[in-house]
C-alpha cells in the first residue's frame, strides 16, 4: 500500500488530542524533566575568548566525556518513555499507564540492542569506505564518499525508523528481527516516509526557532543572568518535549498504517 502522510498526521493529531492530559504528564516525566535537568545542571562551558580551534575541540571533548554517564541516563529514560507512549497509543490490549511503562522497560534492551547493532554496522561500513578513500590520496573522492555516507545514513535511518513501535507494539524482542521488520514495512514507501519526516522536522524546527527567538527577546528586556538562563531552559525543554511527543505519535501512526489492520485504533482513550 502507498503511504498517506496526510492520514498519518490526522491519526497522530487525533491520538494526541484524545489523550492530551495524560500524554503531557508522561512527556513531562520522560522527556521534559531529563532534558531540563541536563540543561540546568550540566550546561556546556562557555568558550574562552581567543582560544584556538584545537583548544575549543579539547574543551568540548572533555565536557562530553565528563557528562557521558548523565547523557546515557537521559537517553535511557527517554527511550523508556518513547516505548511506553507507543504502547499506550497502539496496543490492542489497552494496558494501563503502569503496565505500559512496565512493557516499555521490558522492550528497552531489545530497542537499545537494535540501535547499537545499527550504529555498529554503519560505523564499520563508514570506516572501511573512508579508509579506502584515504588510501587513494584523493580529497575529491573522500568528499564524495562522505556525501554518499550521509545519504546512506539518512536512508537507513528512515528504513529502520519503525523499530521502536515494532518493539513496543508487536512485542518483538529480537533486535535483528525488529530491524528486518522495519525494513520490510517501509519497502516501497521509503521516499514518502522520508519526506513526511522531513516536513515534520522542518515545521517543528521552525516553530522551535521562532519560539526561542521571541523568548530570547523578551528575556533580554525583563530578565538577566541565572533567571533568564533558567526560563530559557524551561521553555526549550518544554517545546522539545512536545515535539518529541508529536514525533512518537507520528511513528505510531506510520507503523499502524504500514503494518495494516493488525494495529488497534490509535485514537482510543486509554486508562
Which pLDDT value is given to residue 63? 87
User: Are the beta carbons of 78 and 34 closer than 8 angstroms?
Assistant: yes
Residue 78 scores a pLDDT above 90 = yes
Give the pLDDT band (50/70/90) at residue 89.
Answer: confident
Query: pTM above 0.75?
Result: yes
- Which sequence spans correspond to the domains of the chain? 5-41+56-259
* Lowest mean pLDDT, pick from 47-51, 86-90, 106-110: 47-51
Average pLDDT on 127-150 reads: 89
Average pLDDT on 184-194 reads: 94
Q: Tell me the per-residue pLDDT of 145-165, one tens digit each, with 9 for 90 and over.
A: 999 999 999 999 999 999 999
Q: Tell me the per-residue pLDDT of 108-118, one tens digit each, with 9 for 90 and over.
A: 999 999 999 99
Give the pLDDT band (50/70/90) at residue 103.
Answer: confident
Query: CA 190, CA 254: separation in Å to the nearest integer?
Result: 11
Computed over every residue of the chain, the mean pLDDT equals 87
Amino acid at each position: 500500500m502507498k503511504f498517506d502522510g496526510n492520514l498519518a498526521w490526522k491519526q497522530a493529531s487525533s491520538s494526541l488530542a484524545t489523550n492530551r492530559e495524560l500524554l503531557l504528564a508522561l512527556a513531562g516525566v520522560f522527556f521534559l524533566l531529563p532534558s531540563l535537568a541536563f540543561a540546568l545542571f550540566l550546561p556546556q562551558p562557555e568558550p574562552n575568548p581567543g582560544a584556538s580551534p584545537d583548544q575549543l575541540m579539547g574543551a568540548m571533548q572533555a565536557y562530553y566525556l565528563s557528562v557521558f554517564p548523565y547523557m546515557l541516563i537521559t537517553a535511557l529514560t527517554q527511550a523508556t518513555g518513547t516505548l511506553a507512549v507507543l504502547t499506550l497509543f497502539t496496543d490492542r490490549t489497552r494496558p494501563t499507564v503502569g503496565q505500559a511503562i512496565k512493557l516499555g522497560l521490558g522492550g528497552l534492551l531489545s530497542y537499545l540492542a537494535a540501535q547499537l547493532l545499527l550504529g555498529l554496522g554503519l560505523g564499520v561500513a563508514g570506516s572501511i569506505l573512508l579508509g579506502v578513500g584515504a588510501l587513494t590520496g584523493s580529497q575529491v573522492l573522500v568528499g564524495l564518499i562522505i556525501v554518499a555516507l550521509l545519504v546512506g545514513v539518512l536512508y537507513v535511518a528512515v528504513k529502520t525508523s519503525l523499530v521502536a513501535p515494532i518493539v513496543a507494539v508487536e512485542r518483538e524482542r529480537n533486535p535483528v528481527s525488529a530491524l528486518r521488520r522495519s525494513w520490510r514495512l517501509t519497502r516501497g514507501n521509503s521516499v514518502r516516509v522520508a519526506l513526511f519526516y522531513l516536513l515534520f522536522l522542518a515545521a517543528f524546527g521552525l516553530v522551535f526557532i521562532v519560539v526561542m527567538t521571541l523568548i530570547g527577546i523578551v528575556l533580554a528586556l525583563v530578565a538577566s543572568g541565572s533567571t533568564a538562563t533558567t526560563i530559557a531552559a524551561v521553555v526549550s525543554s518544554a517545546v522539545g518535549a512536545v515535539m518529541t511527543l508529536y514525533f512518537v505519535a507520528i511513528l505510531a501512526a506510520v507503523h499502524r498504517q504500514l503494518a495494516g489492520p493488525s494495529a488497534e485504533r490509535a485514537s482510543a482513550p486509554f486508562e
